[in-house]
Amino acid sequence: MDASEVRDLLREVEDPDLGDDIVSLGLVNDLSVEGDTATISLALGAPYSPHETEIANRVREVLSDHGLDADLSARVDDDVSADEQVLPNVENIIAVASGKGGVGKSTVAVNIAAGLSQLGARVGLFDADVYGPNVPRMVDADEVPTATEDETMIPPEQFGVKLMSMAFLVGEDDPVIWRGPMVHKVLTQLWEDVEWGHLDYMVVDLPPGTGDAQLTLLQSVPVTGAVIVTTPQDVAIDDARKGLRMFGKHDTPVLGIAENMSTFKCPDCGGEHDIFGRGGGAKFAEDNDMPFLGSVPIDPSVRTGGDEGRPIVLDEDEDTGDAFRVLTENVANNVGVIKRRQQR
């Protein structure tokens, strides 16, 4: 069987998101056949996302049905050369943002990072909330970064996630009182002077609002997409709308809307209580033609996990852990959609 015949076979493989076969979509970069092995490079850019894993498995299945082994690799073409990129070894940068504080943005960021690592990805978590850095506590990270001979920092690691936070660099009780230029300088140094290594995903926990840290990120590094966190409450939705407009003005794709604190299931009576309303995040996503990533209930175990430093997404026996796993998978799938659309 020659390469042309194999390419025709690959037309049987459908992209679950883009609604066509992978050949028509231009997702086959290179293809060669030697003996019973087809070597194929696919334009897949979201490692360990369920949908891209499904595509790769389907390719193997189709070729196996015709007596061929598949030697697969993945590569997406980027308009920016590696020399011009700030973080050339980071495939995808995911910004986690909220229009206001108190909606559980850091909790969502930590659980997405831990969830991606649990899927098998190489992950970094950058706590860019310079005024309230609490990610180290939420993952029980006691170690601080170490320095190399050329004065770059080696980030500590927890749950398979490489960590960097302002909390490592200031005293535990010291307030951070900085103006915009200092915020820009420190954030830039924190991602440029850190030995991140090769990462499939870097999750960036932004401070709430639309201030200096957000602008520094959007102007300095190639953000793949943003997750906007809100509660169902109208006040939170109003502020989330501002965050959506900020990313739109900087031509940054929004991966979707995550609704936190959606319902509270009473452990005593078994009833559900809509403390912050119901369905606000889903409606906000629908009204703005954005993907809805999922909702996470109010659950005391989320607070316990945050205080004790173990993200609930790692708990296989918790329904709320399932909610975070679904949210994480949807984030990864939507990263893949963005990357594959860029290849068309």
- Residues within the annotated binding site? 99-106
| Rounded CA Rg of the chain | 21
Annotated binding residues for ATP, written as ranges, equal: 99-106
Note the Cα 257 to chain centre separation in Å.
12
CA distances to 15, 59, 71, 191, 299 from 68, in Å: 21, 10, 10, 44, 49
- From CA 220, how far away is CA 304, in angstroms rounded? 35
Helices vs strands, H then E, count in the chain: 10, 14
Note the Cα 287 to chain centre separation in Å.
23
Note the Cα 163 to chain centre separation in Å.
14
- From CA 223, how far away is CA 68, in angstroms rounded? 38
> Which residue, among 20, 223, 201, 194, has the nearest Cα to 121 in the 3D structure?
201
Phi, psi of 111 (to 5 degrees): -70, -35
